[in-house]
Amino acid sequence: MRLSHTILLVPVLAAFGCATTESAAPPAAAAPAPARPSVPADIEAPATATLALQLAAKGTQNYKCQATPSGTAEWKLVAPEADLSKTPGGDVVGKHGAGPSWTLNDGSSAKGDSASAKKAPSPEAGSILWLLMPATASSQAGGLHGVTLAQRVDTHGGAAPATGCDAASVGAETKVPYTATYVFYR
């Protein structure tokens, strides 16, 4: 009789042993959080700021030829227009526009204070400045909720044209293609 109990328990233990082994497997590793970009000290986010979101932007910096008080004319930024994605060329997750402002498809948004922005030159000629600016997030939950700083880095293109704006062309507009990375902190 003892032999029959032993024979019956072996398959039962084997079945539970397999289930136990599978359930004890470690969970899949989560994707690593994006790292802070390497930037000049002038535009480095404070150590107390937490990186919340990093987005790739592709679009245009839009300029208008405007008269200056001295009687000449120069290109002045009107507004950016860009699509935002989690990776360059990825699905569009939001828009970047005037203000500057960022609005995500999840309904969250933030507005930057460009007048208070810290600036650093782009290492690439013909590219717009790198920036760190205070930002105010909307109360809408989502990726930009609670954001207090916006940083623009890795700029390619977007600088105002060096020519084409004079007294005779006041009012002309141009759109200069650019890409950049926007990093948001809480």
End-to-end alpha-carbon separation of the chain, Å? 70
Q: How many domains does the chain have?
A: 1
- pLDDT over threshold 70, residue 1: no
160 in any annotated domain: yes
CA atoms within 13 A on the CB side of 161: 16
Q: What is the pLDDT of residue 31?
A: 55
13 in any annotated domain: no
Query: Mean of the per-residue pLDDT values for the chain?
Result: 88
Retrieve residue 52's tokens: 């919340």
Output the CA torsion 93→102→132→149 (10° steps): -90
pLDDT, tens digit, 9 for 90 and up, residues 56-103: 999 999 999 999 999 999 999 999 999 999 999 999 999 999 999 999
pLDDT, tens digit, 9 for 90 and up, residues 96-155: 999 999 999 999 999 999 999 999 999 999 999 999 999 999 999 999 999 999 999 999
Rounded to two decimals, the pTM is 0.81
Percent of the chain with pLDDT over 70: 82
Range of the domain at 181: 51-185
- State how far the Cα of 169 lies from the Cα of 171, in Å rounded to an integer: 6
Q: Which residues contact 96 (CB under 8 A, 6 or more apart)?
A: 57, 59, 80, 81, 82, 83, 84, 102, 182
5 in any annotated domain: no
Retrieve residue 183's tokens: 């990093």
Q: What is the pLDDT of residue 30?
A: 56
181 in any annotated domain: yes
Q: What is the pLDDT of residue 33?
A: 63
Q: What is the pLDDT of residue 34?
A: 75
15 in any annotated domain: no
Q: Which residues contact 186 (CB under 8 A, 6 or more apart)?
A: 49, 50, 52, 146, 147, 148
172 in any annotated domain: yes
105 in any annotated domain: yes
pLDDT, tens digit, 9 for 90 and up, residues 20-56: 444 444 455 555 667 899 999 999 999 999 999 999 9
The three state secondary structure string of 36-90 is CCCCCHHHCCCCCCCEEEEEEEEEEEEEEEEECCCCCEEEEEEEEEEEEECCCCC
- pLDDT over threshold 80, residue 10: no
30 in any annotated domain: no
Helix (H, G, I), strand (E, B) or coil at 94: strand
- Taking residues 169-177, report their average pLDDT: 97
Retrieve residue 102's tokens: 């960022």
